[in-house]
């Protein structure tokens, strides 16, 4: 299965001579320790069944309850649930009046949805460099990217590490820009005690299965005020508050009640899962002594480790060799993202020149950090990663 934002797995067929490929494709070897493990447990199933039996399945009481409960994560700000993180970003931009003729400064080192949302809103993304240590938008680079058409900054809390919101907010204020947080990977992350999602004029979360919590598919926009929340509610539902009294042009980006009911179960467990991710990350930090560069956490940042991403010094060939060794040792791992957005087909013509981003794309490798890991799994990851680094000749 090719999941959005998740690179396809390495095929067991790779490297085989075509003439000796058996007629029936062999099943892929499953890594002993998977890179991610979405939870769909008995409680999630029971919640979904409860809604299906109730019959109110689309944007009903479960969605309203989910929105209210999620607000506790973002200082009580109004929340509007939608059908994906991409929809959340798209509608957030529309609700802020950003569209044709406007530019939005984004990092290129992110999932394509970040820039796609800007394009879907009719605006133009302008790619800016990242901080090489945290992989998040660099405020100095963002400042250089601001021009007469800039309407917003869209920092990404990549891998679950908060972007430098203090400096980015100051920059936005200096130029009268909106700030849209792409918090799709950063549920419950915080900076100096303030949760991500509570900084911007809008903030967007994703509930895709591999995220720190999920609703199968889903997303949510956080805004500072009820008026903007109402605009978002109209935009997600064909412009209607009252049935067939369409006030504005809108889309159908509603969340189902099945999704919301699953989200409510997951939300309850998010604090426990987040702590487990952070504990797992500490164990990996302590164990990885073989030359891989462990993730840096900025001052005051609460990293929630959607991904535990190391750098493999030496470039893509060495990184890919480490990845192959890890996979051979039964440790799932992945590269997020091998091609920065500015080099993808829809954006390459813009000709952005981003050497820090290119280097990150060539060096990053994400190891399993999900809350289902056992102490034995963590030992296996550490041993395999140290040995893979040594076999690939990683020198720091």
Ligand X SMILES: Cc1ncc(COP(=O)(O)O)c(C=O)c1O
Interface with ligand X (CB under 6 A): 4-5, 84-86, 110-111, 113-114, 156, 182, 184-185, 206, 208, 219
| Euclidean distance between CA atoms 31 and 35, whole angstroms | 8
Least distance (Å) between residue 252 CB and ligand X: 15
Residue nearest to ligand X (CB): 85
Q: How far is the CB of 104 from ligand X (least distance, A)?
A: 13
Q: Is 287 exposed, middle or buried (0-12, 13-18, 19+ CB in 10 A)?
A: middle
- What is the Cα–Cα distance from 283 to 115, expressed in whole angstroms? 34
Which single residue is written with the structure tokens 């959005």?
4
- Cβ nearer to ligand X, comparing 92 with 141: 92
Q: Which is nearer to ligand X, 84 or 274 (CB)?
A: 84
Cα of 151 vs its chain's centroid, Å:
23
Q: In the bound complex, what is the minimum distance in angstroms from residue 314's beta carbon to ligand X?
A: 26
Question: In this complex, which beta carbon is closest to ligand X, that of residue 347 or of residue 392?
Answer: 347
Bridge partner residues of 128 (DSSP):
107
Minimum CB separation from ligand X for residue 317, in Å? 26
Q: Are 319 and 325 in contact (CB under 8 A)?
A: no
User: Which one, 110 or 327, has the nearer CB to ligand X?
Assistant: 110
CA-CA distance, 268 to 213, in Å (whole number)?
Answer: 10
User: From the CB of 208, what's the least distance to ligand X, in Å?
Assistant: 4
Q: Which is nearer to ligand X, 216 or 350 (CB)?
A: 216
CB of 336 vs ligand X, minimal distance in Å: 8
Complex with ligand X: residue 66 or 321, whichever CB lies closer: 66
CA 172, distance to chain mean position in Å, is 23
User: Cβ distance 162 to 301 under 8 Å?
Assistant: yes
Q: Residue 154 or residue 321: which is nearer to ligand X going by CB?
A: 154
Query: In angstroms, rounded to a whole number, what is the distance separating the alpha carbons of residues 162 and 195?
Result: 9
Cβ proximity to ligand X: between 137 and 184 the closer is: 184
Give the nearest distance from C-beta 40 to ligand X in angstroms.
16
d(CA 230, CA 129): 34
Q: Quick one: how far is CA 385 from the chain centroid?
A: 24
Cβ at position 184, least distance to ligand X in Å: 4
State which residue, 291 or 295, has the beta carbon closest to ligand X: 295
Q: Provide CB contacts within 8 A for 219, sequence distance 6+.
A: 81, 82, 83, 84, 85, 86, 87, 88, 89, 184, 204, 205, 206, 207, 255
Whole-angstrom distance, CA of residue 325 vs CA of residue 385:
8
Q: Supply the minimum distance, in Å, between the C-beta of residue 255 and ligand X.
A: 11
CA–CA separation, 343 vs 130, rounded Å?
Answer: 15
């Amino acid at each position: 299965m090719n999941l959005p934002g998740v690179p396809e797995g390495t095929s067991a067929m790779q490297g085989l001579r075509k003439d000796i490929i058996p007629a029936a494709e062999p099943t892929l070897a499953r890594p002993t320790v998977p890179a991610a493990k979405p939870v769909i447990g008995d409680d999630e199933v029971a919640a979904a069944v409860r809604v299906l039996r109730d019959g109110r399945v689309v944007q009903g009481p479960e969605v309203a309850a989910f929105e209210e409960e999620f607000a506790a994560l973002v200082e009580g700000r109004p929340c509007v649930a939608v059908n994906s993180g991409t929809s959340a970003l798209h509608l957030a931009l529309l609700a802020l009046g950003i569209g044709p003729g406007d530019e939005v400064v984004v990092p290129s080192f992110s999932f394509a949805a970040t820039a796609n949302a800007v394009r879907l809103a009719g605006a133009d993304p302008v790619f800016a460099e990242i901080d090489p240590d945290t992989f998040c938008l660099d405020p100095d680079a963002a400042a250089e990217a601001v021009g007469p058409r800039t309407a917003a900054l869209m920092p990404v809390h990549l891998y679950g590490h908060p972007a430098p919101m203090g400096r980015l907010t100051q920059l936005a204020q200096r130029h009268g820009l909106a700030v849209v947080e792409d918090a799709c990977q950063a549920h419950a992350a915080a900076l100096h005690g303030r949760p991500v999602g509570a900084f911007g004029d809008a903030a967007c979360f994703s509930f895709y299965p591999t995220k720190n919590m999920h609703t199968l598919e889903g997303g949510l926009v956080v805004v500072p005020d009820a008026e903007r929340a109402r605009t978002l509610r109209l935009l997600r539902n064909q412009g209607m508050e009252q049935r067939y009294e369409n006030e504005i042009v809108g889309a159908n980006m509603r969340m189902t009640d099945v999704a919301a009911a699953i989200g409510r179960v997951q939300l309850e467990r998010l604090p426990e899962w987040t702590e487990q991710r952070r504990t797992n990350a500490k164990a990996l930090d302590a164990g990885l002594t073989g030359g891989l560069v462990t993730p840096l956490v900025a001052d005051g940042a609460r990293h929630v480790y959607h991904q535990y991403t190391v750098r493999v010094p030496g470039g893509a060939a060495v990184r890919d060799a480490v990845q192959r060794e890890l996979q051979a040792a039964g440790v799932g791992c992945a590269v997020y993202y091998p091609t920065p957005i500015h080099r993808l087909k829809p954006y390459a013509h813009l000709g952005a020149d981003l050497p820090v981003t290119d280097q990150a794309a060539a060096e990053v490798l994400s190891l399993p950090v999900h809350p289902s890991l056992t102490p034995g799994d963590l030992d296996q990851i550490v041993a395999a990663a140290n040995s893979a680094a040594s076999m690939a000749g990683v020198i720091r």
